[in-house]
């Protein structure tokens, strides 16, 4: 069995070409994003590109992906009962009630995500995905943690499934409570090991245990396992999320969006450099004085504005750089390449608003799906589903949400073009009810559509808690009975009033009948509050 340090060094050789490409892509877009593995101290001077188009493209695309994957104020998933289990263990009539309960759980989960730093870390990981094509996220108890490509190695099987992950971090020995290694230690003799006596290389080794079907990991320092660092997690709720932007069969690492357009970015950077340097030369003003001229260069140089000196105008000339046509050609080509890059990274004007509507999110998702069709599918499998499962597991362990039976309830990821959480259900239900009313008429709508059920489904689709908001069937029945009782009482009162106005009911002419009518009026039950 290899030590984590040794295994990390072995797997690093397969990562070299991907890391070199990622560093070059980073230098053309966001130079601080990806660095070489041996650049741990961060003392390397970052080379700034001559253009900012690459940075703008990466930041914009990352923001759009963030909006589509984890949309604000909208759930990226919904809990639903398995249709094949409804008839066996639950009454299908209870489906609306269960949807309302699921909607409450969804709100609790989204509130937990909104209160955490998950969106910040995910946004950083998305930028790494776009530039380097790879990112690693660890879902710990204190929130998410992101590892760049130069801080981890991964090994996959033939189907692309992760079988081993090893991360590398520099941690102070004082924090770990570990003494520096002695000069005689074998680990200290490695020239590539360590950055000094104050820091230690901490390796985290994550493996899939086929016998138990769970993930196991531990940490090593100086080839020794740290005490208390061992941990496990279920197979479908691993806290280690290895993400890729594009996949190629047989490769352990992914390919980024920047790599696909690295040729245009190189050309644009070169043209931008030429334009900047050329403009700098062209803007320089140099005066030439003829060698046989009577005008003295020193006198001309010392002369102030508006000064009067002796000389001839024909003795003095100005150097003119006749490169205007060349500058125009380079500028036109740079503009063409810039437009092509911005289109590839979906850069467009975004409406500034305090609240992003569901329609805007839907349009953004549609645009992303049309341009990056397979990205949503890949992120759903490698990020959203494991992220949701892990989040639900954490909340269930802390009793913040009830435990749901896996054999009956399953989460459905609805990020992407397919739908917008329960907002898609809302849109479909509203369109259906409107179509029935327009096609068959209001009478048929009231005849065939149950208003109570429609209200429940609309509330569940919009994630609204209807407690004490919508009247229950029992309350509606009581209100109907009360209305009928009030109407009957009012009818008796009206009849008694009409009778009292007839000559027959005149007390002076028929006192007996008048007494009976008065008694009938007194016996009428008063209206209930």
DSSP labels for 160-215?
S-EEEEEEEEEEEHHHHT-PPPPTT-TGGG-TTS-S-TTEEEEEEEEEEETTTTEE
Question: Residue 468 class from Cβ within 10 Å (0-12 exposed, 13-18 middle, 19+ buried)?
Answer: exposed
Instruction: Please say whether the beta carbons of 132 and 22 come within 8 A.
Output: yes
**Residue 523 pLDDT greater than 90, yes or no:** no
The stretches of 76-164 forming alpha helices (DSSP H) are 83-89, 95-115, 118-132
Tell me: pLDDT of 29 over 80: yes
Q: Does the pLDDT at position 166 exceed 60?
A: yes
Judge whether residue 280 has pLDDT over 60: yes
Is residue 364 pLDDT above 70, yes or no? no
CA angle 427, 428, 433 (to 5 degrees): 100
32-60: buried (b, 16+ CB within 10 Å) or exposed (e) per residue? Answer: ebbbebeebeeeeeeeebebebbbbbbbb
pLDDT above 50 for 419: no
Give the 3-state secondary structure of residue 303.
Answer: coil
Token pair, residue 250, equals: 């047989």
Evaluate if residue 420 carries a pLDDT over 50: no
Q: Which of 16-30, 185-199, 220-234, 367-381 has the lowest mean pLDDT?
A: 185-199
Q: Return the number of other C-beta atoms located less than 10 Å from residue 267's C-beta.
A: 15
Q: How far apart are CA 78 and CA 410, in angstroms?
A: 9
Confidence of residue 357 (pLDDT cuts 50, 70, 90): low
Res. 48: pLDDT tops 60: yes
529: β partners: none
Q: Rounded to whole angstroms, what are the CA distances from 113 to 226, 360, 362, 388, 401? A: 31, 21, 21, 10, 13
Find the distance separating the first CA and the last CA of the chain, reported in whole Å.
81
The answer to whether the Cα torsion of 512, 514, 520, 523 is positive or negative is: negative
Higher pLDDT, 319 or 524: 319
Query: Is the CB of residue 365 less than 8 Å from the CB of residue 415?
Result: yes
Distance CA 324, CA 326 (A): 5
How many CB atoms are closer than 10 A to CB 257?
A: 25
**So what's the pLDDT on residue 256?**
92
CA distance 201 to 193: 8
Query: Which residue did the predictor score with more confidence, 377 or 328?
Result: 328
518 pLDDT above the threshold of 80: no
Of 482, 426, 473, the C-alpha closest to 450 is 473
Q: How far apart are CA 113 and CA 383, in angstroms?
A: 15
State yes or no: pLDDT of 418 exceeds 70.
no
Beta strands at 162-172 and 199-209: parallel, antiparallel or unpaired: antiparallel
Percentage above 70 pLDDT, the chain: 74
pLDDT over 80 at 144, yes or no: yes
Please report, to the nearest 10 degrees, the dihedral formed by the alpha carbons of residues 251, 253, 255, 259 taken in order.
-110
The answer to whether 113 touches 66, Cβ cutoff 8 Å, is no
Q: How confident is the model at residue 262 (pLDDT cuts 50, 70, 90)?
A: very high
Helix (H, G, I), strand (E, B) or coil at 483: helix
Structure tokens of 41?
Answer: 């101290």
Segment 320-339 mean pLDDT: 85
pLDDT at 176: 81
- Among 191-200, 209-218, 288-297, 433-442, the range scoring the smallest mean pLDDT is 191-200
8 A C-beta contact, residue 338 and residue 53: yes
pLDDT for residue 193: 43
Q: What is the mean pLDDT of residues 61-87?
A: 77
Of 9, 36, 42, the C-alpha closest to 22 is: 36
Do residues 473 and 452 lie in contact, with contact meaning Cβ atoms separated by under 8 Å?
Answer: yes
Instruction: Quote the tokens at residue 14.
Output: 């397969």
Per the model's pLDDT, the better-predicted residue between 104 and 428 turns out to be 104
The listed range with the strongest mean pLDDT (126-140, 211-225, 308-322) is: 126-140
Q: Write down the pLDDT at residue 421.
A: 41
**Helices (runs of H) and strands (runs of E) counted in the chain:** 18, 13
Residue range 171-199: average pLDDT? Answer: 64
Residues 318-332 have a mean pLDDT of 80
- Per-residue pLDDT tens over the stretch 190-244: 444 445 567 889 999 999 888 888 999 999 998 888 888 899 998 888 899 999 9
- Please list the helix, strand and coil fractions of the chain in percent, rounded to the nearest 5, in that order: 50, 15, 35
Q: Which residue has the higher pLDDT, 285 or 226?
A: 226
Mean pLDDT of the chain: 79
Q: Work out the average pLDDT over 447-467.
A: 69
CA distance 259 to 253: 13
Residue 92's pLDDT band (cuts 50, 70, 90): low
C-alpha span between 241 and 162 (Å, rounded) = 10
The yes-or-no verdict on residue 88 having pLDDT over 60 is no
- Specify the DSSP class assigned to residue 406: T
pLDDT band at 472 (very low <50, low <70, confident <90, very high): low
Return the higher-pLDDT residue of 130 and 70. Answer: 130
pLDDT at residue 367 greater than cutoff 90:
no
Q: Which residues, 6 or more positions from 459, have their beta carbon under 8 angstroms from its beta carbon? A: 100, 103, 465, 466, 470
pLDDT higher than threshold 80 for residue 107: yes
DSSP letter assigned to residue 164 = E
Q: Residues 6 or more apart from 160 whose CB is under 8 A from it?
A: 247, 249
Q: To 10 degrees, the CA torsion angle through 17, 250, 34, 191?
A: -60
* CA neighbor of 367 nearest in space, from 11, 68, 33: 68
The residue that leads in pLDDT, 327 or 42, is 327
Higher local confidence (pLDDT), 231 or 379? 231
């Amino acid at each position: 069995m290899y030590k984590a340090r040794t295994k990390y060094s072995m797997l690093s050789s397969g990562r070299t070409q991907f890391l070199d490409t990622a560093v070059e892509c980073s230098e053309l877009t966001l130079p601080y994003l990806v660095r070489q593995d041996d650049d741990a101290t961060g003392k390397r001077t970052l080379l700034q590109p001559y253009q900012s188009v690459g940075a703008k493209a990466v930041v914009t695309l990352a923001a759009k992906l963030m909006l589509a994957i984890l949309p604000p104020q909208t759930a990226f998933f919904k809990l639903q009962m398995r249709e094949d289990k409804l008839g066996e263990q639950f009454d299908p009539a209870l489906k609306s009630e269960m949807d309302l309960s699921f909607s409450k759980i969804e709100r609790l989960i989204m509130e937990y995500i909104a209160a955490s730093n998950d969106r910040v870390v995910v946004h950083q990981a998305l930028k790494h995905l776009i530039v380097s094509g790879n990112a690693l996220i660890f879902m710990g108890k204190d929130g998410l943690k992101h590892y760049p490509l130069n801080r981890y190695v991964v090994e996959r099987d033939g189907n692309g499934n992760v079988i081993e992950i090893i991360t590398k971090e520099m941690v102070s020995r004082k924090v770990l409570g570990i003494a520096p290694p002695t000069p005689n230690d074998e680990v200290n003799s490695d020239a590539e090991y360590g950055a000094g006596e104050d820091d230690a290389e901490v390796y985290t080794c994550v493996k899939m245990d086929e016998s138990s079907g769970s993930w196991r990991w531990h940490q090593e320092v100086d080839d020794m396992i740290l005490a208390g660092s061992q941990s496990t997690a279920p197979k479908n709720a691993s806290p280690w999320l290895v993400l890729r932007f594009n996949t190629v069969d047989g490769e352990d690492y992914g390919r980024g969006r920047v790599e696909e357009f690295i040729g245009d970015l190189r050309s644009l950077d070169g043209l931008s450099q030429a334009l900047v340097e050329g403009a700098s030369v062209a803007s320089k003003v140099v005066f030439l004085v003829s060698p046989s001229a009577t005008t003295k260069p020193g006198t001309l140089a010392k002369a102030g504005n508006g000064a009067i000196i002796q000389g001839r105008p024909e003795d003095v000339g100005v150097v003119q750089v006749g490169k205007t046509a060349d500058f125009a050609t380079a500028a036109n080509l740079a503009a063409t390449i810039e437009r092509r890059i911005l289109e590839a990274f979906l850069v467009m004007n975004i409406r500034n608003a305090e609240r992003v509507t569901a329609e805007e999110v839907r349009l953004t998702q549609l645009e992303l799906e049309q341009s990056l069709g397979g990205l949503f599918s890949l992120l759903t499998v490698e990020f959203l589903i494991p992220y949701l499962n892990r989040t639900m597991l954490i909340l269930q362990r802390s009793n913040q949400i009830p435990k749901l039976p896996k054999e009956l309830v399953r989460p459905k990821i609805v990020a992407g073009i397919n739908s917008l959480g329960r907002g898609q259900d809302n849109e479909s239900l509203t369109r259906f009810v409107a179509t029935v009313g327009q096609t068959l008429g209001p009478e048929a709508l009231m005849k065939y559509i149950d208003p109570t059920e429609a209200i429940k489904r609309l509330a569940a689709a919009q994630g609204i808690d209807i407690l004490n908001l919508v009247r229950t069937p029992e309350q509606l029945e009581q209100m109907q009975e009360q209305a009928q009782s009030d109407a009957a009482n009012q009818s008796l009162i009206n009849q008694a009033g009409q009778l009292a106005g007839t000559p027959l009911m005149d007390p002076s002419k028929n006192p007996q009948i008048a007494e009976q009518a008065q008694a009938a009026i007194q016996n009428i039950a008063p209206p209930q509050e």
